[in-house]
């Protein structure tokens, strides 16, 4: 590693991380970080990669990028009911610019500090802009919110509102005119795309209450299907209940629906919980300061060999046939 890369790591990452390594026995600077296992807990580990042009545009605000790179990783911990502990950062940069790195690391550490998640290591190299973070968290063995834990009779819930990030992407792509929105609404949409809030507090509050959970990164329709497949159950979802922001409601009804159900980049939690837990779920949402909305129910497969699927209805329980295919979002993988 060249001296300039070494000083870059020291200046923008190691120096700031040092204030934040209470959880690591040994942080940045050696061959490995050393992390003491928390007695009686499992280590929850997740990796997410962000590639320029695929997950963010080349001219993205670096402060927002620093936030989002960590936010999407913390969102995975949240969806597992895990408490964040530490993360690593692998960074490829074409031409390191000081102002860019300063803003990027400000955005990154602002979020890391809020959730007490320490930067404990990484790798830095020259190349097309590419970020890969790995997060580590703790969860008690019987408290992890797994995708295979949904049960027939469970309610289906989501946090926050869905579709806002996709609406913001549509503005950037010129799919709909920005003039549809007041300035504060346009700002709210942009915020949803650039600075998603990982629902860590909600994930922790749902331990022992929710059955299955995941974070919605590829759109509700596709992500809920993962819970159904892993749990071998079916779902009915009332699309009129799916929470949509005031800003999203400025779009035509069919576009709203596509944004909310298949938009992607929401980073809200979708989870199931037994009927008896309704009060407890609402309390968890209130504790976490985020709205939680009941949107449907889990049912048993009619036959064991059936393919798990989602039946969409409107508020009058009328079945809807939705074609959500071909509505491409930012990360089309």
The footprint of ligand ADP (CB under 6 A) covers: 1, 9, 13, 28-31, 89, 91, 119, 121-124
Residue 318 annotated in ligand binding = no
293: tokens are 């909305």
Determine the interface stretch with Mg ion among 21-29, 44-52, 117-125, 278-286 (rule: CB under 5 A). Answer: 117-125
Nearer to Mg ion, 123 or 328 (CB): 123
Residue 246 annotated in ligand binding = no
Nearer to ligand ADP, 90 or 324 (CB): 90
Determine the interface stretch with Mg ion among 38-46, 115-123, 165-173, 183-191 (rule: CB under 5 A). Answer: 115-123
Q: Taking the complex as a whole, how short is the minimal distance between the CB of residue 94 and Mg ion, in angstroms?
A: 18
Q: Which does 31 bind (CB under 5 to 8 A by kind): Mg ion, ligand ADP, none?
A: ligand ADP
Task: Say if CB 200 and CB 84 are below 8 A apart.
Answer: yes
Choosing from 10, 123, 148, 328, the residue that interacts with Mg ion (CB under 5 A) is 123
Q: Which does 25 bind (CB under 5 to 8 A by kind): Mg ion, ligand ADP, none?
A: none
Task: Give the span between the Cα atoms of 262 and 17, in whole angstroms.
Answer: 37
Residue 59 annotated in ligand binding = no
Q: Which residues pair with 138 in a beta bridge?
A: 43, 83
Residue 271 annotated in ligand binding = no
Q: Which of 91, 107, 110 is nearest to 99 (CA)?
A: 107
Nearer to ligand ADP, 1 or 152 (CB): 1
Position 10 contacts Mg ion (CB under 5 A): no
Q: Which does 248 bind (CB under 5 to 8 A by kind): ligand ADP, Mg ion, none?
A: none
Residue 147 annotated in ligand binding = yes
């Amino acid at each position: 590693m060249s001296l300039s890369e070494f000083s870059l790591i020291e200046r923008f990452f190691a120096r700031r991380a040092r204030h934040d390594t209470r959880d690591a026995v040994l942080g940045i600077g050696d061959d490995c970080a050393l992390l003491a296992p928390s007695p009686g807990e499992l280590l929850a580990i997740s990796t997410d990669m962000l590639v320029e042009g695929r997950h963010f545009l080349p001219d993205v605000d670096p402060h927002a990028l620093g936030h989002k790179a960590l936010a999407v990783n913390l969102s995975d911990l949240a969806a597992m009911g895990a408490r964040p502990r530490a993360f690593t950062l692998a960074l490829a940069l074409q031409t390191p610019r000081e102002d860019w790195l300063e803003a990027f690391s400000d955005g990154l550490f602002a979020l890391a500090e809020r959730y007490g998640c320490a930067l404990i290591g990484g790798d830095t190299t020259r190349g097309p802009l590419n970020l890969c973070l790995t997060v580590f968290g703790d969860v008690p063995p019987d408290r992890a919110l797994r995708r295979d834990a949904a049960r027939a009779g469970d309610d289906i819930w989501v946090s926050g509102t869905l579709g806002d990030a996709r609406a913001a992407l549509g503005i950037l792509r010129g799919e709909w005119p920005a003039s549809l929105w007041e300035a504060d609404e346009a700002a709210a949409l942009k915020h949803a795309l650039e600075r998603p809030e990982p629902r860590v507090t909600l994930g922790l509050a749902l331990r022992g209450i929710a059955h299955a959970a995941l974070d919605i990164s590829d759109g509700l329709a596709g992500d809920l299907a993962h819970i159904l497949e892993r749990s071998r159950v079916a779902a009915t979802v009332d699309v009129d209940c799916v929470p949509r922001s005031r800003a999203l409601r400025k779009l035509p009804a069919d576009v709203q629906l596509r944004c909310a159900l298949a938009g992607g980049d929401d980073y809200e939690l979708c989870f199931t919980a037994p009927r008896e837990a309704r009060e407890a779920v609402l309390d968890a949402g209130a504790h976490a300061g985020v709205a939680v909305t009941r949107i449907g129910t889990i049912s048993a497969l009619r036959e064991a060999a059936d393919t798990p699927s989602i039946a969409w209805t409107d508020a009058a329980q009328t079945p809807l046939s939705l074609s959500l295919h071909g509505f491409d979002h930012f990360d089309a993988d």
